[in-house]
Amino acid sequence: MEQIIQDIKSRLINFQEKYNERNFYNIKSYVKEFFVDEEDTSFIGAGLDSWCFGLEKITNMIKSYWEDESNYLEKIELDIDKAIVNVENSVAIIALHGKNTRNIKEKKVCEAVIKQLSKTLNNEDLSKSDLIRLSVKITETLNHIKLGEEYVFPFRITIVMVNDGLKWMIKHMNLSYCADDLNMLNNENIDDKYKTIPIDNKDIIEIREVQEVLKTLQEAYDKRDASLVDSYGEELLDNNELTSIIGTDSGEVFYGFNEAKKLLESDWKYWGDFNLNRENSFISILNNIAVVCSKSLIKFTWPEKRVCSWPKGALEYYFKENKTNTELLNLMLESINNALHTLLIENNKSTLSMRFVGVLVKRNGKWKFNHMHFSDCVDNIPARLKD
């Protein structure tokens, strides 16, 4: 097994090296070298519409990453040594971190914010919420400037690879950034672009079996009963030390059966109302492995008392982090502004577009999650690493 895992990591190293060469002339050959040439092979990028199925669309998306630095993926650094690799016969489930590093001049950063200021302040429908959001943006920008001109944008990746008898090939790949600024949706009449995926499922028994598991997962999130986490954990999660869940925040990475249950418990206690959108999920079956992809939604409710307590929690955290007085004051201004902005958001704009990717393993006739990856849709500047 160690040799198999090493072969997979070597393959990923080669994938990264050739990606970073950005050889436009050989891009089609590059994609064909590493991705399975089938119409349902997928690469899900960070944005709302970054859903690519088939090699032609995957090629076009990678080309756009190489060409446009605003995608923050023209160069990648994968932490392959620390990748979690679970091999199930001829299929490998991989969870790993990566980053994009670049130098952004202070002048360019300031000009972008000033442009945003001008656009927002000239809006005829300017609101109190807009003004507080601008205050948050200015505070964030000043804090970023103090950190210097080297920006590190961390991301997380889920990869499912298959062995074709000669080498390991990518069948499904999902990349996500943490969001720095979320675009809330109107709760009513949510457009289909936030729900549907451009590919249909096959009508086979294994897919119907997995759909029943998704039904149970949604049931668990609907009940939000932390006292049931053990029973739902046994029913839904693969009891394996290589089981992993990636949450939406940068620090939310949970490894092993018990930690995965803790993530579920935390979601049910503190998160919003998660809608998996299982009716529109795409499911791919690879022997005893199932890969689930969906455009999901989450609706938040923010009681005033809870939101007003956020800055207190932030203050306690920054005290523990031994921030300087100046750093603490700047960060607290940002935290208080964020709380005020949340309180001013209209009640009909509390839904957020997300993505869910899950990988299930079938053992003893039952499908269970070996991996989950929750992520926000990020079409703007992703969250910067601040530590």
Give domain limits for the chain: 2-103+150-301+348-376, 106-148+303-344
Q: Please report the pLDDT score of residue 189 as a whole number.
A: 72
Task: Give long-range contacts, CB 8 A cutoff, 24+ apart: 225-228.
Answer: 225/268, 226/265, 226/268, 226/269
Torsion of CA 384, 51, 342, 326, to 10 degrees: 0
Token representation of residue 302: 């923010």
Cβ neighbourhood burial of 6 (10 Å; 0-12, 13-18, 19+): exposed
pLDDT at 221 over 80: yes
Helix spans in 292-324 (H): 304-320
Give this prediction's pTM: 0.91
The CATH class that applies to domain 2-103+150-301+348-376 reads alpha beta
pLDDT at 215 over 90: yes
Q: Please report the pLDDT score of residue 224 as a whole number.
A: 95
Question: How high does pLDDT run on average in the chain?
Answer: 91
Token representation of residue 167: 């080498």
pLDDT digits (tens, 9 = 90+) for 255-300: 999 999 999 999 999 888 999 999 999 999 999 999 999 999 999 8
Instruction: Please indicate whether residue 331 or residue 55 has the higher confidence score (pLDDT).
Output: 55
Contacts of 385 (CB under 8 A, 6+ apart): 99, 152, 153, 154, 250
What percent of the chain shows pLDDT beyond 70?
Answer: 98
Looking at residue 297, its amino acid is L
For residues 243 and 370, give the distance between their C-alpha atoms in angstroms, rounded to a whole number. Answer: 5
Q: Which of 8-22, 112-126, 173-187: highest mean pLDDT?
A: 8-22
pLDDT at 347 over 80: no
Token representation of residue 90: 């001829």
Across the range 14-39, mean pLDDT stands at 97
pLDDT at 387 over 70: no
pLDDT-derived band at 223, boundaries 50, 70, 90: very high
Instruction: Please indicate whether residue 233 or residue 379 has the higher confidence score (pLDDT).
Output: 233
